[in-house]
Amino acid sequence: MDLTLQIWRQSHPEPAGQFVVYPMRDVSPAWSLLEVLDQLNEHLLRAGEVPVAFASDCREGICGSCGLLVNGIPHGQAGVTTCQVYMRHFQSGQTLTLEPFPGFPVVRDLVVDRSAFDRIMAQGGYISVNVGSAPEANTMPIPPDTAVQAFNAATCIGCGACVAACPNGAAALFVGAKITHLSLLPQGQPEAAKRVQAMVAQMDAEGLGHCSNHGECAAVCPQSIPLTVIARLRRQYWRAWL
């Protein structure tokens, strides 16, 4: 199949970028989008041109570092990361527009700086536990439904798709997921109030927007984090102040 890639090129964070069009021939439907970018970069290197910078690590849908916009959609498809988008989902002759995630500073081309998420998580602090021998498993019973909610929230990989999809550039789904999985379990209770205040304050300091319940974040989340984590975030935040 033949495709046309329209890719955002930006050599440094400061100068303005622009879209550059690259035709691709004989693309296999079995290739992932990142493999197509690999092939493009081989062509560019042989031609003595600068390859397209994009981030990736596991290429198994685990880390989320590969995130970018594909035709205006974070990751290109709902429920997957960019590395799990395969060419068989597109038509021969189609144009794919690739852009960096909005809401984050551009480092180069399709690579963005997600360190704001790291700084928010750092404000989450630690949990208080009694050290020593391992506790008896039945001394801290946790209802199955609570455990499932906590584990589901903990699957957030911090890819940034929620920020990229939100018209306000909000990170409420990410912060809500972290607050939920830490506050539901007994180990996270002692610092719950301090944690949510500190993480929300850092989110605001990073310049990320405020949630207005559009719901695009949950629609594009590759881990299917539900909007209920935002409700829990708000409840925890106001309870901490009250």
Domain extents for the chain?
Answer: 3-112, 115-241
Q: Residue 223's pLDDT band (boundaries 50, 70, 90)?
A: very high
Residue 176 pLDDT more than 70?
Answer: yes
- Give the tokens for residue 115: 């360190």
Query: What's the start-to-end Cα distance of the chain, in Å?
Result: 60
pLDDT of amino acid 139? 74
pLDDT of amino acid 53? 97
- Collapse the DSSP code of 20 into the 3-class scheme (helix H, G, I; strand E, B; otherwise coil) and give the result: strand
Tell me which amino acid residue 31 is: W
| Alpha carbon separation from 47 to 4, 13, 39, 41, 51 (Å, rounded) | 18, 25, 13, 10, 10
pLDDT of amino acid 28? 96
Mean pLDDT of 227-233: 95
Which superfamily is assigned to 3-112 in CATH? Beta-grasp domain (3.10.20.30)
Q: What is the pTM of this model?
A: 0.90
Vertex 17: Cα angle to 79 and 63 (nearest 5): 30
Q: Find out whether 7 and 109 touch, Cβ atoms under 8 Å.
A: yes
115-241 matches 3-112 in CATH topology:
no
pLDDT in tens, 62-115: 999 999 999 999 999 989 999 999 999 999 999 999 999 999 999 999 999 999
Which CATH code of 1.10.1060.10, 3.90.400.10, 1.10.630.10, 2.40.50.140 fits the domain covering 115-241? 1.10.1060.10
Tell me which amino acid residue 86 is: Y
Q: Residue 133's pLDDT band (boundaries 50, 70, 90)?
A: confident
